Amino acid sequence: MQEIDLATGSPVAEARIRVSDLEKLREVLECGSDIPLSGSWHLDQEDLQRLGAISNPPCDPDSKLNRIESWHPIRETPCLVHTNFELPSMLEGRKPLAVFHDAYPTEWLTETIERFDPFVRCGRLTCCIIDTPFTEAEQARFRGFQGWRRAFFSLPGEEWRVDAFLLLSEVTARTGWSGALERMEGSLLGYEDWQNDWWIERGARRVQGKHSSGK
């Protein structure tokens, strides 16, 4: 469960609960059996109390919590992964660069840019948006979209990271992905050396596991 800050649209507090009876969970969330329990749901005070009653063990959730989302293995990472925490991390000066990329117009990307906009206008962040037209094949595949959009947000004085990220993308397109390029990307986004070490080693273990299992 999370407390979502209205100013940034990002979680500022979390509390983990375990619910074994998924049917009761669906009742609280008013979620039909045909809808996967993998998204996020807004919570009111009644929802909180009902969730606390069916959690294992039962608990009395903080009234500030207002959203619930399913557990994801990425939370086992021994550091805060920036995903969904980009804006508050940048406002705290802990993250120098955030990058968002998708076909446009896309609702989530538009909403994300809008959340950053007030802080760009007041000078706390800088913004660079790059639109790239689809190839003919992509245009046929992504009907209803206009092209690719990349939104870069950086701290003042860290704009050089945008150019470095674009160069990284060009190198990747020519050579393919590698551990060295992943380390560079992580560093540009603000991850520390030990965090990059852990992430790259984890990726190597996953690849080795696939090879050993024949996948």
pLDDT digits (tens, 9 = 90+) for 73-96: 878 888 888 888 899 999 999 999
Q: What's the whole-number mean pLDDT along residues 161-181?
A: 95
Higher per-residue pLDDT: 120 or 5: 120
Say whether pLDDT at 47 is over 90.
Answer: yes
CB neighbour list of residue 215: distance below 8 Å, 6 or more residues apart:
none
Question: Cβ distance 82 to 139 under 8 Å?
Answer: no
Q: What's the whole-number mean pLDDT along residues 43-63?
A: 95
Phi, psi angles (nearest 5°) of residue 3: -105, 120
Which pTM does this prediction carry?
A: 0.82
Structure tokens at 205: 């273990």
Q: What is the pLDDT of residue 132?
A: 95
What does pLDDT average to over the chain?
90
Q: What is the pLDDT of residue 214?
A: 38
Question: Cβ distance 109 to 151 under 8 Å?
Answer: yes
Q: What is the pLDDT of residue 205?
A: 56
- Domains of the chain, by residue range, sit at 2-71, 86-213
Q: What's the whole-number mean pLDDT along residues 149-158?
A: 98
Question: What percent of the chain is modeled with pLDDT above 70?
Answer: 94
190: left (phi over 0), alpha (psi -120 to 50) or beta: left
Say whether pLDDT at 213 is over 50.
Answer: no
Closest CA to 101 of 165, 194, 160: 165
Query: What letter does residue 134 receive in the DSSP assignment?
Result: P
Question: Cβ distance 145 to 103 under 8 Å?
Answer: yes
pLDDT grade, residue 13 (50/70/90)? Answer: confident
155-165 pLDDT, tens digit per residue, is: 999 999 999 99
**Inter-axis angle of helices 22-29 and 45-54, to 10 degrees?**
170
Question: Cβ distance 28 to 47 under 8 Å?
Answer: yes
* Lowest pLDDT segment from 82-86, 187-191, 204-208: 204-208
Structure tokens at 69: 């989302």
Closest CA to 182 of 193, 147, 26, 90: 193
Q: What is the pLDDT of residue 80?
A: 82
Q: Which value, to the nearest 10 degrees, does the dihedral of the CA atoms of residues 49, 10, 145, 102 take?
A: -120
Give CA–CA dist 14/5, Å, rounded: 12
Question: Cβ distance 153 to 90 under 8 Å?
Answer: yes
Q: What's the whole-number mean pLDDT along residues 147-171?
A: 97
* Lowest pLDDT segment from 70-84, 120-134, 176-190: 70-84
Say whether pLDDT at 215 is over 60.
Answer: no
